[in-house]
Amino acid sequence: MTNVVLKHLSRRFGDHLAVRDLNLEIASGEMVAFLGPSGCGKTTTLRMITGLIQPTSGDVLFDGESVVGIPTERRGAVMVFQKHLLFPTMNVADNVGFGLKMAGVEKPEIARRVDEILELVELPGLGDRKAHELSGGQQQRVALARALVVHPQVLLLDEPLANLDANLRITMRHLIRTIQRELGITAIFVTHDQEEAVMLADRVALMFDGVVQQVGEPNSFYKRPATARVAQFFRNSNFLPGQRTGNVVTTSVGDVEVDPDLVPEGSGHVVLTVRPEEVQPVLDGSTEGNVVPATIESVIYMGSYTQLEARIGDETWNVQTSAAFMPKDGETVMLRLPREHLWIVRDDSSEEGAVAS
C-alpha cells in the first residue's frame, strides 16, 4: 500500500491554468475520487500522478519520495482508461499478461498470475478468447485485470465506466470496490458522476475550474456543502438568504433558527440551504420549528414521492415529500425547515482555494 501526497500541484497549458495549487494527501489503501464537470482539471491531475504529463509546479510523492521526473513505467502507478485499449490481435490471457512479459517475468509465473487475476475479476476460463469476442463489460474487466496483475502501488482510473450501460456500470462499480478493498490498494479515480463517486470513494475531492473546492467523505457534500455551487452540483438548489444574529437568521419569510453546533460561527449576511428531501410539509397547523409559508408552483407525482416547486420568498425551491401530500398549483402551504438539516453556505461560487474536510 502506498501513501500519495500532492503538494502545491499546478499545471498550465499556455495561458490556461488547468490545475491550480492542489494539495491533497491520499492514505495507503484509500480510494479517492476526483469529481467535477468536464474541463475542471481532474483528468489532468490524474495524468500528473501517473507521469503522462509533468506538473508546471509542485510535487507528487509516493511514500514520501518525489516521483516527478520518474518515467511512467517506473512509478508503480497503473492507469485504466475510459477506453479499454486492448490489443486486438491478442487473446485475453496475452492482453492481461503483457505487462508481466515486458517486465521479464517467466512464462509459468505469468500464467499463474493471469489465471489468478482473471478469477478475481470474474472472468475465469476466458483466457483464450479474443478481445473482440467479449462484451463491453468483459473488455473493461480485462483492462482492469491487466492493470492489477502487475501489482501496482497505485491504481488510477480515468472514467473507466463511462462507456458502459447503466446496469453494467452498477456491476463494475461493485466489482472495482470489492477488489480494491480485498487487495488494499491505493486507488484514485476521476468521474463527473456524483453517484459513482459516492458509491466508490472513501473521500471525494470536488473540483471546479482547476481548484479543489471541498474534500471529504461523500455524505459531507449532501449534508455540509461548503458553497452554493457545491450544493447545486449535488442537486440541491434550495437557498434562502438572510441576516444572521447569533443562531437566528432573519429572512424574507420570517426568522429561522439554526443549530450553532452545526453551522460556522459568525453573523451578518448568510445563505441557508436545506436538501429537498429534508423539507417537511406542516399538516397540523403548527407554527413551531422554522415553519415558513410557500406558494406551490408545480406538483409532479413521482410514484414513491411528490416533487414540488415551491416559492419561498424570492426563491424557488425543490421539495420532495410523501406521495400522499398533493397540494394544488397556486396553493399556499406551510413548510418546516428542520434545524438539524439546515446549513450555511458561502454564496460566492467563484471563490478559489481548497476547503478542508
Q: How many domains, the chain? A: 2
Going by their DSSP bridges, the two strands 239-245 and 248-251 should be labelled as antiparallel
Going by their DSSP bridges, the two strands 77-80 and 343-345 should be labelled as unpaired
pLDDT band for 1, please (50, 70, 90 cuts): confident
Q: What is the residue type of 176?
A: I
Q: Which of 105-119, 207-221, 317-331, 335-349 has the lowest mean pLDDT?
A: 335-349
Q: What's the Cα-to-Cα distance from 116 to each of 124, 202, 228, 261, rounded to whole Å?
A: 8, 27, 47, 51
pLDDT for 173-189, tens place per residue?
Answer: 999 999 999 999 999 99
pLDDT band for 348, please (50, 70, 90 cuts): low
Give me the domain span that covers residue 106: 4-223
**pTM of this structure:** 0.88
The reply to whether 35 falls in a domain is yes
Whether 144 and 285 map to the same domain: the answer is no
Average pLDDT over residues 107-112: 94
The vertex-78 CA angle with 10 and 28, nearest 5°, equals: 75
The reply to whether 251 falls in a domain is yes
Whether 77 and 111 map to the same domain: the answer is yes
pLDDT for 277-293, tens place per residue?
Answer: 999 999 888 888 899 99
- Strand blocks (E) in 27-143: 31-35, 57-62, 65-66, 77-80
For residue 291, give the C-alpha cell: 415553519
Task: Provide the 10 A C-beta neighbour count for residue 228.
Answer: 18
Cα distance between residue 213 and residue 224, in whole Å:
13
What share of the chain has pLDDT > 70, as a percent? Answer: 97
Whether 164 and 275 map to the same domain: the answer is no
Given 223, 249, 276, the domain boundary residue is 223
Whether 54 and 188 map to the same domain: the answer is yes
The reply to whether 137 falls in a domain is yes
Given 223, 258, 277, the domain boundary residue is 223
Mean residue pLDDT across the chain: 91
Whether 176 and 32 map to the same domain: the answer is yes
The reply to whether 230 falls in a domain is no
Above 80 in pLDDT, residue 347? Answer: no
Whether 10 and 114 map to the same domain: the answer is yes
Whether 33 and 60 map to the same domain: the answer is yes
Tell me what pLDDT residue 171 has: 87
The single residue listed with the C-alpha cell 458561502 is 346
Whether 255 and 200 map to the same domain: the answer is no
Please answer whether residues 172 and 140 qualify as being in contact, where contact means their C-beta atoms are separated by less than 8 angstroms.
Answer: yes
Cα distance between residue 162 and residue 53, in whole Å:
22
Please answer whether residues 253 and 314 qualify as being in contact, where contact means their C-beta atoms are separated by less than 8 angstroms.
Answer: no
Greatest CA separation for the chain = 78
Above 70 in pLDDT, residue 89? Answer: yes
Cα distance between residue 348 and residue 293, in whole Å:
27
Tell me what pLDDT residue 357 has: 39
pLDDT band for 308, please (50, 70, 90 cuts): very high
The reply to whether 48 falls in a domain is yes
Spatial neighbors of 85 by CB under 8 A, at least 6 apart, are 143
Cα distance between residue 357 and residue 342, in whole Å:
19
Given 169, 194, 223, the domain boundary residue is 223
Q: Using CA atoms in the order 80, 231, 38, 32, what is the torsion angle rounded to 10 degrees?
A: -20
CATH number at residue 341: 2.40.50.140
Whether 217 and 292 map to the same domain: the answer is no
The reply to whether 118 falls in a domain is yes
CATH number at residue 80: 3.40.50.300
Whether 8 and 109 map to the same domain: the answer is yes
The reply to whether 353 falls in a domain is no
Nearest to 292 by CA among 305, 274, 265: 274
Tell me what pLDDT residue 50 has: 94
Cα distance between residue 272 and residue 345, in whole Å:
6
Whether 120 and 178 map to the same domain: the answer is yes
pLDDT for 129-176, tens place per residue?
Answer: 998 888 888 998 999 999 999 999 999 999 988 888 888 888 889 999
The reply to whether 185 falls in a domain is yes
Whether 204 and 244 map to the same domain: the answer is no
Nearest to 46 by CA among 16, 78, 76: 78
